Amino acid sequence: MPLPAEMRFVDLPSFGAPEVMTIANGPLPALRPGEILVRVEAAGINRPDVAQRQGTYPPPKDASPILGLEIAGEVVALGEGAADFAIGDKVCALANGGAYAEYCAVPASQALPWPKGYDAVKAAALPETFFTVWANLFQMAGLTEGESVLIHGGSSGIGTTAIQLARAFGATVYVTAGSKEKCEACEKLGAKRGIDYRAEDFAEVIKAETGGKGVDVILDMIGAAYLEKNLSSLAKDGCLSIIAFLGGAVAEKVPLAPIMVKRLTVTGSTMRPRTADEKRAIRDDLKDLVWPLLEAGQVAPVIHTILPFGEIVDAHRLMETSSHIGKIVVTLD
C-alpha cells in the first residue's frame, strides 16, 4: 500500500499544562540513513514527555520536536543502510522523538521485534523503561546476583520494570512507593519489602532490613531530597544511580564522609543524549538477555491504563497525578 501524504500527530504549539497539546495533521517524517519508518499502533507515555511538554526537557537538535519516546507498530519503509528488519515486521523501538504520531522514524539500531505472544500495547510499554533500567541498574551500577537494591518510585513504569529485572537476575529488592496499595503491588512483583515513604523513613527500614549493612545499589528518581538518606542507606562499595530529580536537582549540603568511608559510587545518566552506538549496545543486551525472559513470561510490563490517541491530554493528566501503577499507553487506529 502507498503511504499517505500526511499523518496525525500531537502538536505542541506552546509549553504548559496538558491542555496545550492538540491533534494536528502534517507530513510524514523523512527517513535518514539507518532509520526505519514505523506505522505506529501504540505509544507509551513517559515522564520525559511531560517535562518536554512543560519546556524543561528540550529534544536534541537532530531529533523530532514531536513528543514521545517509545512505540510499537509495523515497519513500512527502510532508510538507506537500515539493517535487521524488513517491511512488514512488527517492532517496538526507543524513539529519539516523534512517537506521538501515526508514523515515526527511528534508528533500526534502537528497534526490537515484538516478544513472541505480544500485541502492540504490551510491546509499546517496553522500550523506554527497559532501556533505562538496563543501562542504569545493570550496565552502570553493575547489579549482580546475590546483591540487594533499593528502587525508589517502585510503582512507576521504571520501578515495576526494575523490580522484575532485578529479581530475575537474582537480586534482593526493596522499594519505596506512596501508599500501602502501591507497596503491596510492588511486593507481588517480587520486592521483598515495600516502604510507604509517606508513613515510614526508608533509611531506617533499610537499616533494619539489612542488619545495618545497607543495600548494594540504589536506583533513584527523586534526587536532592533523598541524597543524604540514600548515601546512608548504601553498603560499603555501593552505588547510587540517579535517573531523575523529581525531588530537586540541587542538593544544598552533600555529606562527603559516607562517600569516602564506604567507597561509594554516585552516577547518573539520561537516555536521550546517549550516542547511537551506546543505544545499540543496550538494545543488543536486551535482545540477548531480557527478551527471552519476556517470551518465557518471567518478566512482563505492568500496564495501568490504555487510552485512545485522541485522549492524549487525559494520558498526561493521569501521569501527573502519579496515581498509576505501571505504564500508560495510547493506541492509534
How remote is the C-alpha of 2 from its chain's centroid? 34
- Tell me the C-alpha to C-alpha distance, in Å, between residue 161 and each of 22, 46, 100, 156, 168: 30, 13, 22, 8, 11
Is the Cα torsion angle 72, 78, 82, 87 positive or negative in sign? Answer: positive
Alpha-carbon distance 214 to 216, whole Å?
7
* Confidence band, pLDDT 50/70/90 cuts, at residue 252: confident
Q: Comparing 88-102, 180-194, 264-278, 316-330, which segment has the lowest mean pLDDT?
A: 264-278
Average pLDDT over residues 18-37: 97
pLDDT at 240: 97
Average pLDDT over residues 186-198: 98
HSE-CB at 185 with a 13 A cutoff on CA atoms is 22
User: What DSSP character marks residue 82?
Assistant: -
Q: What residue has cell string 526505519?
A: 36
CB count within 10 Å of CB 310 equals: 12
pLDDT higher than 80, residue 1 = no
Alpha-carbon distance 73 to 88, whole Å?
9
Alpha-carbon distance 200 to 185, whole Å?
17
Specify the CATH architecture of the domain 6-126+287-331.
Answer: Alpha-Beta Complex (3.90)
Alpha-carbon distance 99 to 115, whole Å?
20
Residues 6+ apart with CB under 8 A from 300: 122, 164, 294
The three cell numbers of residue 138 are 545493570
pLDDT higher than 80, residue 10 = yes
User: At the fourth CATH level, which superfamily is domain 130-268?
Assistant: NAD(P)-binding Rossmann-like Domain (3.40.50.720)
Alpha-carbon distance 235 to 213, whole Å?
5
pLDDT at 14: 97
The whole-model pTM stands at 0.95
CATH topology of 6-126+287-331 equal to that of 130-268?
no
pLDDT at 181: 97
Averaged pLDDT score across all residues of the chain: 96
DSSP string, 103-170: EEEEEGGGEEEPPTT--HHHHHTSHHHHHHHIIIIIIIS---TT-EEEESSTTSHHHHHHHHHHHHTT
pLDDT at 273: 87
pLDDT, one tens digit per residue, over 136-179 is 999 999 999 999 999 999 999 999 999 999 999 999 999 999 99
**3-state secondary structure string, 199-259?**
CCCHHHHHHHHCCCCCEEEEEECCCHHHHHHHHHHEEEEEEEEECCCCCCCCCCCCCCHHH
Helix orientation angle between 47-54 and 312-321, rounded to the nearest 10 degrees: 110
Domain residues of the chain, as ranges?
6-126+287-331, 130-268
Q: Find out whether 277 and 253 touch, Cβ atoms under 8 Å.
A: no
Helix, strand, coil shares, percent, the chain, to 5: 35, 25, 40
Alpha-carbon distance 193 to 150, whole Å?
10
DSSP string, 307-319: EEGGGHHHHHHHH
